[in-house]
Amino acid sequence: MEKIDLKKIIFSSVFVLTCILLGFFGQISQAINTLHSSGIDQNSLFLLLITPFIALFISFCRIIIGINVPTILIPTILVFSLFIIGLNTTIFFLCLSIGLALLGKYLITEFHLHFSSKISIIFSFVSIGLVLALPLIKDPLSLTATAIYPILIISLVNEKQFSFKISRSSLISDFKSIIKIIIFSLLCFFLLGGAILSYQFPEFKQLITTYPESVLIAFLLNFVIGQYTGLRLTEIIRFRKLIFKSK
């Protein structure tokens, strides 16, 4: 037991020192300023800074609330794209790629092919579909920003949660988890300052851009949440009878 405590003490002191150094001496702000002045887009820097918060939000949902967001990668990419290409375009592309992947999977199950060949065909199917759909976007400005997006989306399609298993009954549960991920991403997007239906909550975005050191809050909060061994909110609801009984 003592050994673990010693490890903890060393680690936390190193951690606190780093935080103080970074925060107190304004290292993060300086770095951001340097990057900004060398021509890097403010938005990209913002995305970089909010990543810890997306992760924090995911762990909060899992550990405290008990909603299991099955992956970190997908919501992160979705939040990014929401910020870059906006709500409507993201939803449009997402639905399109999911639809195409679904259709591709459905068609491909008729052939007896190897797994990797099946996946690669679905990949091609989605990518060609997206290429054909790209010109539909009228705004040329967002088009340049969008160009990278199909690549991301295609990679998502093969993620475990997005790979539809047509032949099985799990289709509904797959859909459920996709809907969950999308709702979660939208919520995350809104909390981080994105606009949904002209509603906005800009305070957070302002805080991040003005004081980039506030990223360290995510660090600390993660530490607190990470040690939580109590019941999750959903478990409290699930076990309410037992809790009531024992009280």
Partner 1 sequence: MFFSKSGILGINARNLLYIRPFNKEKSVEIADDKLKTKAFLSARGIPVPKLLDVVGSSKEISKFSFKKLGSEFVLKPNLGFGGEGIIPIIRKQDSLFISGKNKSYSKYDLIEHIRDILNGDYSITDKPDKAFFEKLIISDEILGRYSYQGLPDIRVIVHNLVPVMAMLRLPTADSDGKANLHQGAIGAGIDLAKGEITHLLHRNQIIKEVPGFGSIKGLKIPFWDDVLRIACKAQLATNLGYMGADIAIDKYQGPVLLEINARAGIGIQLANLQPLRKRLEKLENVQVSTIEKGIRIAKDMFGYSIEKDIRTLSGKKVIGMYEPIEFLNLPENLSSIAFINTSRKKSYLSLDLAKQLGIIKSKKAKNLDDVSAKLKFKLAGKKLTSIFKIDKQIKKKYQVIIGNRDIAGQFLVDTGINNHISIKNGNTNKIFLSHYNPLETDRQLSKVNNQLKFLSHFRPLNFSEEISKFEINNNYNPQFVYGDFSEQYQQFKKTLKKINYDETDLGQLFKRKSQELELQLELIMARGSQEFTNVSSRLFGIPTLSEIAEITAIPNYSKPPKIFNKYSSLELKAIFEETLNDYGLNDWRVAISDKILARCITNKNKKILIKSNSIFSEERVKALIIHEIETHLLTAENGHRQKYKLFNYGFANYLATQEGLAMHNVLSNSDLKSEEGHKEKLTESIHLSQTMSFAELFNDLRNKNLTQKSALDICIRVKRGMTDTSQGGAFTKDYSYYSGKKIIRNFLDQGGDLRDLYHGKYNLSDLPVIKTISLFQIPPLLPKWLK
Q: Which of 18, 165, 206, 207 binds partner 1 (CB under 8 A)?
A: 165
Least distance to partner 1, CB of residue 74, Å:
15
**DSSP classification of residue 9:** H
Least distance to partner 1, CB of residue 191, Å:
23
Q: Which of 60, 204, 211, 239 binds partner 1 (CB under 8 A)?
A: 239
> Interface with partner 1 includes 37 (CB under 8 A)?
no
- Cα–Cα distances in angstroms (integers) from residue 138 to residues 83, 130, 135, 142, 152, in the given order: 18, 15, 7, 9, 21
Which residue carries 């309410």 as its tokens?
240
Per-residue string for binding with partner 1, 108-127, x by CB under 8 A? ----x-xx------------
Least distance to partner 1, CB of residue 239, Å:
5
- Of 138 and 245, the one with the shorter C-beta distance to partner 1 is 245
Least distance to partner 1, CB of residue 222, Å:
14
How many residues make up the chain in this entry? 247
Q: Which of residues 167-226 bind partner 1 (CB under 8 A)?
A: 167-168, 170
Q: How many CB atoms lie within 10 A of CB 163?
A: 14
**Coil, helix or strand at residue 223:** helix
> Interface with partner 1 includes 241 (CB under 8 A)?
yes
Tokens of 26: 């304004």
Q: Which residues contact 152 (CB under 8 A, 6 or more apart)?
A: 77, 80, 81
Please give the angle made by the CA atoms of 223, 224 and 229, to the nearest 5 degrees.
115
> Interface with partner 1 includes 229 (CB under 8 A)?
yes
**Coil, helix or strand at residue 199:** strand
Number of residues interacting with partner 1: please give it, by CB under 8 A. Answer: 27
Write out the residues near partner 1 by the rule CB under 8 A: 63, 66, 112, 114-115, 160, 163, 165, 167-168, 170, 227-232, 235-236, 238-239, 241-243, 245-247
